[in-house]
Amino acid sequence: MKNLVVEALVSHISTLLCNKSNEITAIPELLRALDIRGCIVTLDAMGCQTAIAESIVVGGGDYLLALKGNQANLYEDVKLLFEDLESSHFTAYAYDHAVPVDKGHGRIELRHCWTIDYPSLEGHLRGADGWRMLTTLVKVQSERRVGDKCSIEDRYFLASYQDTAAHILEHIRTHWQIENSLHWVLDIAFREDESRIRKGNGDQNFAVLRHIALNLLKHNAISKLGIKNRRLRAGWDNDYLASVLEPLFS
């Protein structure tokens, strides 16, 4: 079973650089510094670049990259490919499919995942030749139902490895679980997106401090409160604050 390297990569890059425009050049440097042999590296659309895919493969890993409009021709062709599959009543190409259902809090969420083996296609997609070891094309359709309302979102991915649609969907969901558990908490509990610290290295320093604080609060088992309320309690209760900081000195 392969390990999974997910959005945490980009999180660390953002922490160090605090500038998303630098991620495209920083990601290959980080990948070269890590041992990604046997790992699956997942990245959002900003990391969907041929050079980054090359770095992952050279490093002994596999990639699962979100495909959007920044790869215009390839994105359009992959989208049309899956539209052809659907219009043919799923007879045009060989494919795999999975559709787990989540229920709770008055909502139902279905996530359809279709995968097509790229080497088995007779034709070529525009721009596909530049992608090292491109093996699987993926479409994920998220359907969310709350009462009488229904919303549908389609997303597309490129992968350099073969696996079942169920497993690939699990990798994609794990990516977003890490994305949400880190970035969402930093935004809500620490209001990171509202920070206007820009002078010198202040933005980088505070980003590192927020990550340290978040890890300390998460690993404190004394309180069952949420992260935001744990921060408040640490400001009001010196004994609780000491328990939060204890791992730094043990």
- Per residue in 40-95, pLDDT (tens digit) is 998 888 889 999 999 999 999 999 999 998 898 999 999 999 999 999 999 999 99
190, 217, 239: which is the final residue of a domain?
190
> Do 40 and 139 share a structural domain?
yes
Contact status, residue 211 vs residue 15, Cβ threshold 8 Å: yes
| Domain match, 161 and 236 both | no
pLDDT surpassing 60 at residue 213: yes
Specify whether 78 is located in the same domain as 200. Answer: no
156 with 213, same domain? no
Q: Give yes or no: residues 14 and 69 share one domain.
A: yes
Report the alpha-carbon distance of residue 172 to residue 189 in Å, rounded. 25
Cα 119 to its chain centre, rounded Å, is 25
Q: Are 131 and 211 in the same domain? A: no
Q: Is the pLDDT of residue 18 over 50?
A: no
- The reply to whether 136 and 202 lie within a common domain is no
Domain boundary among 168, 190, 212: 190
Q: Are 108 and 197 contained in the same domain?
A: no
d(CA 66, CA 42): 8
Query: What pLDDT score does 62 carry?
Result: 94
**C-alpha span between 4 and 175 (Å, rounded):** 9
As a whole number of angstroms, the distance between CA 174 and CA 164 comes to 15
- Both tokens of 84, joined, read 């052809």
Closest CA to 40 of 68, 69, 70, 8: 8
Is residue 214 scored above 90 in pLDDT? no
Q: Are residues 225 and 113 in the same domain?
A: no
Indicate the burial class of 12 (C-beta count within 10 angstroms; 0-12, 13-18, 19 or more). Answer: middle
Cα-to-chain-centroid distance, residue 189: 20
Residue-wise pLDDT tens digits, 134-158: 999 999 998 888 878 888 999 999 9
User: 236 and 179, same structural domain?
Assistant: no
Please tell me the distance from the alpha carbon of residue 81 to that of residue 93, in angstroms, as a whole number: 9
Domain span at 152:
3-190
Report the number of distinct structural domains present in the chain.
2
Question: Please, are residues 137 and 115 in contact by the beta-carbon 8 Å criterion?
Answer: yes
Q: Which percentage of the chain shows pLDDT scores above 90? A: 34
User: Are 25 and 143 in the same domain?
Assistant: yes
pTM beyond cutoff 0.75: no
